[in-house]
Amino acid sequence: MRALVLAPESCTAAVQEVPTPNASTNEIIVRVHAVALNPVDALYTFNPLAPPTADPANLRVVGSDFAGVVTKLGPDVPSHVKVNDRVAGFLQGASSVNFRPGAFAEFVVVPWDLIWKIPESMSFEEASGISLCGLTAAQALFGQNRLGVTAPWYVQPEPELSIENKKESRRTLLIYGASTSVGIYTAQLLRHTKEKFRLVGVASSKHFQWLSDQPYAYDHLVDYRSDWVGEVRKLTDSGGLDLAFDCISEGKTVESISELMEPQGRLAVVRSLQGGAWKSAGKLPIQPSYGAVWEGLGKEVVYKGMHLPANAEARAFAVDFYQWLSNQGDPVLKPHAIRMMPGGLERIVDDGFQLLGSGLMTDRVGGRTEDWMRPVTAEKLVYRTD
Protein backbone atom coordinates (compact mmCIF):
# COMPACT_ATOMS: atom_id res chain seq x y z
CA MET A 1 0.00 0.00 0.00
CA ARG A 2 0.97 3.66 -0.24
CA ALA A 3 1.72 5.58 2.94
CA LEU A 4 3.26 8.90 3.98
CA VAL A 5 6.52 7.89 5.67
CA LEU A 6 8.71 10.08 7.85
CA ALA A 7 12.23 10.86 6.64
CA PRO A 8 13.79 12.04 9.94
CA GLU A 9 17.23 12.70 8.46
CA SER A 10 15.77 15.40 6.18
CA CYS A 11 12.87 16.48 8.48
CA THR A 12 10.15 15.72 5.96
CA ALA A 13 7.95 12.85 4.79
CA ALA A 14 7.30 11.21 1.42
CA VAL A 15 4.88 8.66 -0.02
CA GLN A 16 6.33 5.14 -0.18
CA GLU A 17 5.14 1.63 -0.88
CA VAL A 18 4.98 -0.24 2.44
CA PRO A 19 3.51 -3.60 3.51
CA THR A 20 -0.24 -3.62 4.04
CA PRO A 21 -0.90 -4.21 7.76
CA ASN A 22 -2.34 -7.38 9.24
CA ALA A 23 -4.90 -7.50 12.04
CA SER A 24 -4.21 -9.30 15.30
CA THR A 25 -6.96 -11.01 17.26
CA ASN A 26 -8.68 -7.85 18.57
CA GLU A 27 -7.94 -5.51 15.70
CA ILE A 28 -9.59 -4.44 12.46
CA ILE A 29 -8.24 -3.26 9.11
CA VAL A 30 -9.72 -0.03 7.77
CA ARG A 31 -9.51 1.12 4.16
CA VAL A 32 -8.87 4.83 4.63
CA HIS A 33 -10.93 7.23 2.51
CA ALA A 34 -10.12 10.56 4.17
CA VAL A 35 -7.56 11.98 6.59
CA ALA A 36 -7.60 15.26 8.51
CA LEU A 37 -4.53 17.22 9.46
CA ASN A 38 -3.61 18.30 12.98
CA PRO A 39 -0.80 20.72 13.91
CA VAL A 40 0.98 17.91 15.74
CA ASP A 41 1.34 15.98 12.45
CA ALA A 42 3.35 18.79 10.90
CA LEU A 43 5.24 19.55 14.11
CA TYR A 44 6.75 16.08 14.46
CA THR A 45 7.43 15.72 10.76
CA PHE A 46 9.46 18.93 10.62
CA ASN A 47 10.95 18.23 14.09
CA PRO A 48 11.36 14.43 14.32
CA LEU A 49 11.49 12.96 17.80
CA ALA A 50 13.55 9.85 17.14
CA PRO A 51 16.71 9.20 15.10
CA PRO A 52 16.65 7.54 11.66
CA THR A 53 16.47 3.76 11.47
CA ALA A 54 17.66 1.39 8.77
CA ASP A 55 15.15 -1.28 9.80
CA PRO A 56 12.37 -1.42 7.16
CA ALA A 57 10.03 -2.85 9.81
CA ASN A 58 10.27 0.43 11.70
CA LEU A 59 9.21 2.83 8.98
CA ARG A 60 7.37 5.67 10.69
CA VAL A 61 4.06 6.37 8.93
CA VAL A 62 2.92 9.84 10.02
CA GLY A 63 -0.57 11.16 10.70
CA SER A 64 -3.34 10.91 13.27
CA ASP A 65 -6.97 11.27 12.11
CA PHE A 66 -8.64 8.94 9.61
CA ALA A 67 -12.05 7.80 8.36
CA GLY A 68 -12.85 4.83 6.17
CA VAL A 69 -14.47 1.40 5.82
CA VAL A 70 -13.74 -1.79 7.76
CA THR A 71 -12.30 -4.43 5.41
CA LYS A 72 -11.09 -7.17 7.75
CA LEU A 73 -11.78 -8.35 11.32
CA GLY A 74 -9.52 -10.11 13.78
CA PRO A 75 -10.93 -13.38 15.20
CA ASP A 76 -11.75 -11.87 18.62
CA VAL A 77 -13.56 -8.79 17.33
CA PRO A 78 -17.21 -8.85 18.57
CA SER A 79 -20.03 -9.48 16.14
CA HIS A 80 -21.49 -5.97 16.25
CA VAL A 81 -18.42 -4.73 14.36
CA LYS A 82 -18.80 -5.70 10.72
CA VAL A 83 -16.99 -5.52 7.42
CA ASN A 84 -18.14 -2.43 5.47
CA ASP A 85 -18.87 -0.45 8.64
CA ARG A 86 -18.07 3.24 8.15
CA VAL A 87 -15.71 4.20 10.97
CA ALA A 88 -13.30 6.88 12.16
CA GLY A 89 -10.49 7.00 14.71
CA PHE A 90 -6.97 8.23 15.31
CA LEU A 91 -3.46 6.83 15.65
CA GLN A 92 -0.26 8.23 17.07
CA GLY A 93 1.96 8.22 14.00
CA ALA A 94 5.36 9.79 14.57
CA SER A 95 4.27 11.80 17.60
CA SER A 96 6.39 9.77 20.02
CA VAL A 97 9.73 7.99 19.89
CA ASN A 98 7.92 4.71 19.24
CA PHE A 99 7.53 3.17 15.80
CA ARG A 100 3.78 2.64 15.83
CA PRO A 101 2.38 3.42 12.36
CA GLY A 102 0.17 6.44 11.78
CA ALA A 103 -2.98 7.16 9.79
CA PHE A 104 -1.78 8.70 6.53
CA ALA A 105 -1.95 5.49 4.53
CA GLU A 106 -4.32 3.54 2.32
CA PHE A 107 -4.96 1.01 5.11
CA VAL A 108 -4.63 1.20 8.90
CA VAL A 109 -4.85 -1.37 11.66
CA VAL A 110 -6.58 -0.30 14.87
CA PRO A 111 -8.14 -1.95 17.96
CA TRP A 112 -11.84 -2.54 17.32
CA ASP A 113 -12.93 -0.58 20.42
CA LEU A 114 -10.99 2.59 19.59
CA ILE A 115 -13.06 3.53 16.56
CA TRP A 116 -16.57 4.96 16.29
CA LYS A 117 -19.24 4.37 13.69
CA ILE A 118 -19.93 7.29 11.38
CA PRO A 119 -23.62 8.29 11.12
CA GLU A 120 -25.06 7.92 7.63
CA SER A 121 -25.68 11.65 7.41
CA MET A 122 -21.98 12.43 7.88
CA SER A 123 -19.34 12.13 5.15
CA PHE A 124 -15.92 10.52 5.53
CA GLU A 125 -14.37 13.96 5.09
CA GLU A 126 -16.41 15.48 7.93
CA ALA A 127 -15.87 12.52 10.24
CA SER A 128 -12.12 12.39 9.66
CA GLY A 129 -11.44 15.46 11.81
CA ILE A 130 -13.42 14.55 14.94
CA SER A 131 -11.58 11.70 16.65
CA LEU A 132 -8.41 13.35 18.01
CA CYS A 133 -9.79 16.83 18.75
CA GLY A 134 -13.07 15.47 20.08
CA LEU A 135 -11.24 13.21 22.52
CA THR A 136 -8.89 16.06 23.48
CA ALA A 137 -11.94 18.16 24.38
CA ALA A 138 -13.60 15.31 26.27
CA GLN A 139 -10.46 14.51 28.28
CA ALA A 140 -10.05 18.14 29.35
CA LEU A 141 -13.71 18.73 30.14
CA PHE A 142 -14.61 15.48 31.87
CA GLY A 143 -11.31 14.27 33.32
CA GLN A 144 -11.47 14.30 37.13
CA ASN A 145 -7.93 15.68 37.29
CA ARG A 146 -8.79 18.30 34.65
CA LEU A 147 -12.04 20.32 34.68
CA GLY A 148 -14.10 17.61 36.35
CA VAL A 149 -17.47 18.10 34.59
CA THR A 150 -19.63 14.95 34.52
CA ALA A 151 -19.61 13.31 31.09
CA PRO A 152 -23.00 12.87 29.38
CA TRP A 153 -22.42 9.14 28.83
CA TYR A 154 -22.24 8.55 32.60
CA VAL A 155 -25.25 8.51 34.92
CA GLN A 156 -25.96 12.01 36.17
CA PRO A 157 -28.43 12.58 39.01
CA GLU A 158 -30.66 15.58 38.59
CA PRO A 159 -29.44 18.39 40.87
CA GLU A 160 -31.82 19.47 43.61
CA LEU A 161 -32.02 23.25 43.31
CA SER A 162 -34.36 25.69 44.92
CA ILE A 163 -35.78 28.46 42.74
CA GLU A 164 -33.61 31.10 44.37
CA ASN A 165 -30.44 29.03 43.81
CA LYS A 166 -30.97 28.16 40.14
CA LYS A 167 -29.42 31.35 38.79
CA GLU A 168 -26.48 31.25 41.19
CA SER A 169 -25.76 27.61 40.33
CA ARG A 170 -24.55 28.40 36.81
CA ARG A 171 -20.79 28.20 36.69
CA THR A 172 -18.77 30.25 34.20
CA LEU A 173 -16.49 28.39 31.78
CA LEU A 174 -14.13 30.20 29.40
CA ILE A 175 -12.85 28.66 26.16
CA TYR A 176 -9.88 30.51 24.67
CA GLY A 177 -9.68 29.58 20.98
CA ALA A 178 -13.43 29.01 20.65
CA SER A 179 -13.28 28.58 16.85
CA THR A 180 -10.56 25.90 16.91
CA SER A 181 -11.50 22.25 16.45
CA VAL A 182 -10.88 21.48 20.12
CA GLY A 183 -12.85 24.59 21.08
CA ILE A 184 -15.95 23.76 19.05
CA TYR A 185 -16.10 20.20 20.37
CA THR A 186 -15.63 21.41 23.94
CA ALA A 187 -18.59 23.78 23.62
CA GLN A 188 -20.77 21.09 22.07
CA LEU A 189 -19.87 18.50 24.70
CA LEU A 190 -20.63 21.02 27.42
CA ARG A 191 -24.10 21.58 25.98
CA HIS A 192 -24.74 17.81 26.20
CA THR A 193 -24.27 17.81 29.98
CA LYS A 194 -27.13 18.35 32.40
CA GLU A 195 -25.36 21.12 34.26
CA LYS A 196 -25.99 24.60 32.89
CA PHE A 197 -22.97 26.81 32.32
CA ARG A 198 -22.43 30.40 31.35
CA LEU A 199 -20.09 29.92 28.39
CA VAL A 200 -17.59 32.64 27.47
CA GLY A 201 -15.49 32.34 24.31
CA VAL A 202 -12.43 34.17 23.00
CA ALA A 203 -12.04 34.08 19.22
CA SER A 204 -11.93 36.30 16.14
CA SER A 205 -15.02 38.49 15.85
CA LYS A 206 -15.65 37.17 12.32
CA HIS A 207 -16.73 33.89 13.92
CA PHE A 208 -19.09 35.35 16.50
CA GLN A 209 -22.30 34.80 14.54
CA TRP A 210 -22.01 31.04 14.14
CA LEU A 211 -20.52 30.56 17.61
CA SER A 212 -23.59 32.27 19.06
CA ASP A 213 -25.88 29.74 17.38
CA GLN A 214 -26.58 26.14 18.30
CA PRO A 215 -24.92 23.78 18.99
CA TYR A 216 -22.35 26.11 20.63
CA ALA A 217 -24.65 28.80 22.05
CA TYR A 218 -22.01 31.00 23.66
CA ASP A 219 -23.39 33.43 26.21
CA HIS A 220 -20.57 35.92 25.66
CA LEU A 221 -17.91 36.24 22.95
CA VAL A 222 -14.79 38.40 23.11
CA ASP A 223 -12.39 39.24 20.26
CA TYR A 224 -8.87 38.00 20.98
CA ARG A 225 -7.45 41.13 19.31
CA SER A 226 -9.16 43.36 21.90
CA ASP A 227 -8.38 43.80 25.58
CA TRP A 228 -9.95 40.40 26.06
CA VAL A 229 -8.55 40.02 29.57
CA GLY A 230 -10.26 43.24 30.67
CA GLU A 231 -13.52 42.28 28.98
CA VAL A 232 -13.59 38.83 30.56
CA ARG A 233 -12.79 40.31 33.95
CA LYS A 234 -15.86 42.57 33.64
CA LEU A 235 -17.99 39.49 33.02
CA THR A 236 -16.70 37.79 36.15
CA ASP A 237 -16.90 40.58 38.68
CA SER A 238 -18.29 38.13 41.21
CA GLY A 239 -14.88 36.58 41.76
CA GLY A 240 -13.43 35.07 38.60
CA LEU A 241 -13.80 32.10 36.27
CA ASP A 242 -14.87 28.76 37.67
CA LEU A 243 -13.40 26.75 34.78
CA ALA A 244 -11.30 27.57 31.72
CA PHE A 245 -9.82 25.69 28.77
CA ASP A 246 -7.02 27.31 26.78
CA CYS A 247 -7.25 25.64 23.35
CA ILE A 248 -4.26 27.64 22.05
CA SER A 249 -1.83 27.65 24.99
CA GLU A 250 0.82 29.85 23.40
CA GLY A 251 2.71 32.90 24.59
CA LYS A 252 1.01 34.64 27.52
CA THR A 253 -2.48 33.15 27.16
CA VAL A 254 -2.08 30.59 29.95
CA GLU A 255 -0.71 33.17 32.38
CA SER A 256 -3.46 35.67 31.52
CA ILE A 257 -6.26 33.14 31.97
CA SER A 258 -4.77 31.88 35.24
CA GLU A 259 -5.04 35.40 36.64
CA LEU A 260 -8.74 35.51 35.74
CA MET A 261 -9.63 32.39 37.73
CA GLU A 262 -11.32 32.26 41.11
CA PRO A 263 -9.09 30.76 43.84
CA GLN A 264 -10.65 27.28 43.56
CA GLY A 265 -11.01 27.39 39.78
CA ARG A 266 -9.63 24.87 37.30
CA LEU A 267 -7.67 25.60 34.12
CA ALA A 268 -6.87 23.05 31.39
CA VAL A 269 -4.36 23.56 28.56
CA VAL A 270 -3.56 21.75 25.29
CA ARG A 271 0.21 22.19 25.44
CA SER A 272 2.58 21.17 28.20
CA LEU A 273 4.98 23.66 29.76
CA GLN A 274 7.86 21.43 28.60
CA GLY A 275 6.84 22.04 24.99
CA GLY A 276 7.85 25.68 25.27
CA ALA A 277 4.83 27.15 23.47
CA TRP A 278 3.83 29.12 26.56
CA LYS A 279 5.81 30.58 29.41
CA SER A 280 5.11 32.32 32.69
CA ALA A 281 6.99 35.14 34.33
CA GLY A 282 6.42 33.60 37.75
CA LYS A 283 4.27 31.19 39.76
CA LEU A 284 0.77 31.08 38.33
CA PRO A 285 -2.22 31.72 40.62
CA ILE A 286 -3.88 28.60 39.20
CA GLN A 287 -1.68 25.76 37.99
CA PRO A 288 -2.97 24.43 34.65
CA SER A 289 -3.60 20.75 33.99
CA TYR A 290 -2.32 19.07 30.85
CA GLY A 291 -3.10 15.66 29.42
CA ALA A 292 -1.73 14.04 26.27
CA VAL A 293 -4.51 12.82 24.00
CA TRP A 294 -2.29 9.85 23.09
CA GLU A 295 -2.95 8.37 26.53
CA GLY A 296 -6.38 7.42 25.19
CA LEU A 297 -4.69 4.79 23.00
CA GLY A 298 -3.47 2.93 26.07
CA LYS A 299 0.16 2.82 24.96
CA GLU A 300 3.39 4.16 26.41
CA VAL A 301 4.20 7.66 25.17
CA VAL A 302 7.60 9.38 25.22
CA TYR A 303 7.92 12.89 23.82
CA LYS A 304 9.10 16.39 24.69
CA GLY A 305 10.98 15.18 27.75
CA MET A 306 7.93 13.38 29.13
CA HIS A 307 7.46 9.68 29.75
CA LEU A 308 3.81 8.64 30.02
CA PRO A 309 3.28 4.96 30.86
CA ALA A 310 0.41 3.01 29.35
CA ASN A 311 -2.76 4.28 31.01
CA ALA A 312 -5.62 1.78 31.22
CA GLU A 313 -7.99 4.34 32.76
CA ALA A 314 -7.39 6.84 29.94
CA ARG A 315 -7.95 4.11 27.38
CA ALA A 316 -11.24 3.08 29.01
CA PHE A 317 -12.35 6.72 28.90
CA ALA A 318 -11.59 6.86 25.16
CA VAL A 319 -13.55 3.65 24.57
CA ASP A 320 -16.56 5.09 26.41
CA PHE A 321 -16.35 8.33 24.44
CA TYR A 322 -16.22 6.60 21.07
CA GLN A 323 -19.03 4.24 22.04
CA TRP A 324 -21.13 7.30 22.93
CA LEU A 325 -20.41 8.77 19.50
CA SER A 326 -21.39 5.46 17.87
CA ASN A 327 -24.63 4.83 19.74
CA GLN A 328 -26.50 7.82 18.39
CA GLY A 329 -28.78 7.77 15.34
CA ASP A 330 -27.97 11.37 14.50
CA PRO A 331 -24.53 12.95 14.95
CA VAL A 332 -24.03 14.22 18.49
CA LEU A 333 -21.09 16.38 17.43
CA LYS A 334 -21.36 18.75 14.51
CA PRO A 335 -18.12 18.44 12.52
CA HIS A 336 -15.82 21.38 12.04
CA ALA A 337 -15.89 23.18 8.69
CA ILE A 338 -13.51 21.43 6.30
CA ARG A 339 -11.27 22.61 3.50
CA MET A 340 -10.91 19.89 0.89
CA MET A 341 -7.32 19.95 -0.28
CA PRO A 342 -6.41 18.88 -3.82
CA GLY A 343 -4.42 15.73 -4.43
CA GLY A 344 -3.89 12.90 -2.01
CA LEU A 345 -1.17 11.67 0.33
CA GLU A 346 1.57 13.05 -1.91
CA ARG A 347 0.37 16.65 -1.43
CA ILE A 348 0.13 16.67 2.37
CA VAL A 349 3.68 17.83 3.14
CA ASP A 350 4.06 20.43 0.38
CA ASP A 351 0.62 21.97 0.87
CA GLY A 352 -1.10 21.01 4.12
CA PHE A 353 1.95 20.91 6.36
CA GLN A 354 3.24 24.15 4.86
CA LEU A 355 -0.03 25.82 5.89
CA LEU A 356 0.22 24.45 9.43
CA GLY A 357 3.90 25.34 9.81
CA SER A 358 5.73 24.10 12.89
CA GLY A 359 2.50 23.57 14.79
CA LEU A 360 2.29 26.99 16.45
CA MET A 361 -0.48 29.41 15.53
CA THR A 362 2.06 32.24 15.34
CA ASP A 363 4.09 30.38 12.70
CA ARG A 364 1.23 30.03 10.23
CA VAL A 365 2.01 32.24 7.26
CA GLY A 366 0.82 32.48 3.68
CA GLY A 367 2.90 33.31 0.64
CA ARG A 368 1.29 31.21 -2.08
CA THR A 369 -1.50 32.32 -4.38
CA GLU A 370 -3.58 29.15 -4.82
CA ASP A 371 -7.02 29.39 -3.24
CA TRP A 372 -6.49 26.24 -1.16
CA MET A 373 -3.31 27.78 0.29
CA ARG A 374 -5.07 30.72 1.94
CA PRO A 375 -4.43 31.05 5.69
CA VAL A 376 -6.20 28.48 7.87
CA THR A 377 -8.95 29.79 10.11
CA ALA A 378 -11.75 27.85 11.82
CA GLU A 379 -11.51 24.82 9.51
CA LYS A 380 -9.90 21.42 9.09
CA LEU A 381 -7.60 20.53 6.20
CA VAL A 382 -8.79 17.23 4.73
CA TYR A 383 -7.37 14.94 2.03
CA ARG A 384 -8.92 12.00 0.22
CA THR A 385 -6.70 8.94 0.08
CA ASP A 386 -8.55 6.99 -2.64
Domains, the chain, in order of start with CATH, read 2-130+335-384 (3.90.180.10), 133-296 (3.90.180.10)
Q: What is the pLDDT of residue 92?
A: 93
User: 3-state class of 251 per DSSP?
Assistant: strand
Residue 167: its pLDDT value, please? Answer: 46
Per-residue confidence band for 158, with pLDDT thresholds at 50, 70 and 90:
low
Q: What is the pLDDT of residue 57?
A: 63
Residues across the chain: 386
Burial class (CB in 10 A: 0-12, 13-18, 19+), 151: middle
- Distance (Å, rounded) from C-alpha 123 to C-alpha 293? 24
pLDDT of residue 350: 95
The one-letter code for the residue type at 189 is L
Query: Three-state SS across 89-132?
Result: EECCCCCCCCCCCCCCECEEEEEHHHEEECCCCCCHHHHCCCHH
Q: Which helix (H) or strand (E) holds 182?
A: helix 181-191
| Span 238-293, pLDDT tens digits | 789 999 999 999 999 999 999 999 999 999 999 988 778 888 877 899 999 999 99
Counting residues of the chain whose pLDDT is more than 90, the rounded percentage is 77
Angle subtended by helix axes 312-326 and 131-142, to nearest 10: 120
User: Is there a contact between 69 and 106 (Cβ–Cβ < 8 Å)?
Assistant: no
pLDDT surpassing 80 at residue 359: no
C-alpha–C-alpha distance, residues 218 and 321, integer Å: 23
How confident is the model at residue 318, as a pLDDT?
98
pLDDT at 163 over 50: no
**How far is residue 347's CA from residue 339's CA, in Å, rounded to a whole number?**
14
Whole-number percent of the chain with pLDDT over 70: 92
- Give me the pLDDT at residue 85, please: 97
